[in-house]
Amino acid sequence: MVFTLLLSFGNTAQATKTWVSGNVGNWSNTANWSGATLPSSAETAQIDAGNATLDTSQVIGQLLMGVTGGGTGVLNINTGQNLTISKASAELFGVVKTSNAATLNTVNHSAGTVSVFQPGYTGLGETRLVSASTTLGAAIYNLSGTAVLDTEILSKGNKTNANAQFNATGGTLVLRNMIYRFGLISEGAGFNQGACKLEIGAIDTVKAVTFGNSTNAIDYTVAAGGTMNFDIASVSSFDTIVQYGSLANTAGSTLSIDLLSGFTPTAGSTFDVWTFSDKTKAGSGAFGVLPAGWAAAWVDTSGDGSTDTLQLKYIPEPATIGLLGLGLLAIRRNKK
C-alpha cells in the first residue's frame, strides 16, 4: 500500500511543459515551451495546438498530444534526430489523444528513432494513439522513410475508434511486446503493417511478442512491400509471434532472417515462428521474397485442417553444402 501511494504521488508530481498554443517552429526553441525551458527527462511534453519539429535529440518522460482539445497538434520527426520517451511513473505513452473529436493530432515520423521503453522498468512503454476510455479524439502516426519506432506496445487505445490510424509506408517498427486494441474480429478490424519492416523484439535479440490478447483479438496483414524480420540464435532460441485472432496474411511481403552469434542451422532445421493461440485459426499467403537457403510455409500442426503455424525451414543451396563438406574434409585431414 505504501509503495502504491508513493507511486501515485510520483504520477501527480511529474511536471509538464506545454507547447505554446499555435506556435510553429523547432523543439529546441525555448520560446515555444511554457516556462521558456525545454521538457526534461523527468517531465511530460504536451502538444495540444501548434506544429513542432524535433530539431535536436531529446529525452523526455512522456509525450501527450491533444489533452485539452480545441486545437490541432502536429509533431514532425524528420531531421534525423532521436526522441526517447523514458519515464512516466506507472505507464509510458508515445502519442495520446484523450478527448475532443474535433481535434486531430499527427506525428509525421520519417527519419530518426523514437524509443518508447525503459530498460529494467517494471512498466511497459506504450505508443498509444487515443485514450482507452473514449471513442472521441483523433490521432495519426505516419511512419515512413528511414524512421524507426522502437516501442514495447503499439496500441490503438480504444479499439472501436476509427479515428486512430497507424500508417506504415516505410521505416522500421521495432515491437518488443505486443500490438494491442486494434479491433475485434467481429468488427472486421485488424492491423495492416503496411510497407514497413517489422522487427520482432529488440534488434538482434530473441523475443516473443503477441498480436492482440485473450480479450482483444486482431487479424494481421503484411502488405506487399512489407518485411517481417526474425532473429534466430539456436534451434531452441528464436523470435516468435503468438497471435490472438482469426487469420494472418503474408502474401507478397518479404521475409528477413538474422542469424545471431555465428549460428548456422543444419540442413532441414525448422523453426515455428508464428502461431495462433487458437489452433483452429489459419494463416495464409506466400512470401514474395525469401532469403537464400530458406523456405517458409503455413502448416497445420494440430491436424484439424487449419494452417495455424508459420514454419521456416533451412534448405542450404547445393553449393553451400559442398563448401561445408570441403570444410569438414579439411578439418579431418588436419587431424590426421
Instruction: Give the contacts of 129 (CB within 8 A, at least 6 positions apart).
Output: 95, 96, 97, 139, 140, 141, 155, 156, 157, 161, 164, 165, 166
What's the whole-number average pLDDT of the chain? 85
Quickly state the pLDDT bin for 42 (edges 50, 70, 90).
confident
Of the listed ranges 25-34, 43-52, 151-160, 258-267, the least confidently predicted one is: 151-160
DSSP 87: -
Residue 171 has pLDDT above 90, yes or no: yes
Exposure of 236 in the CB half-sphere (CA atoms within 13 A): 0
**pLDDT (0 to 100) of residue 91:** 57
Distance CA 245, CA 243 (A): 6
Query: 227-234 and 282-284 as β-strands: parallel, antiparallel, unpaired?
Result: unpaired
**pLDDT (0 to 100) of residue 125:** 86
Residue 319 has pLDDT above 90, yes or no: no
Q: pLDDT tens for residues 239-258?
A: 999 999 889 999 999 999 99
**pLDDT (0 to 100) of residue 98:** 65
Residues 315, 294 contacting (CB under 8 angstroms):
yes
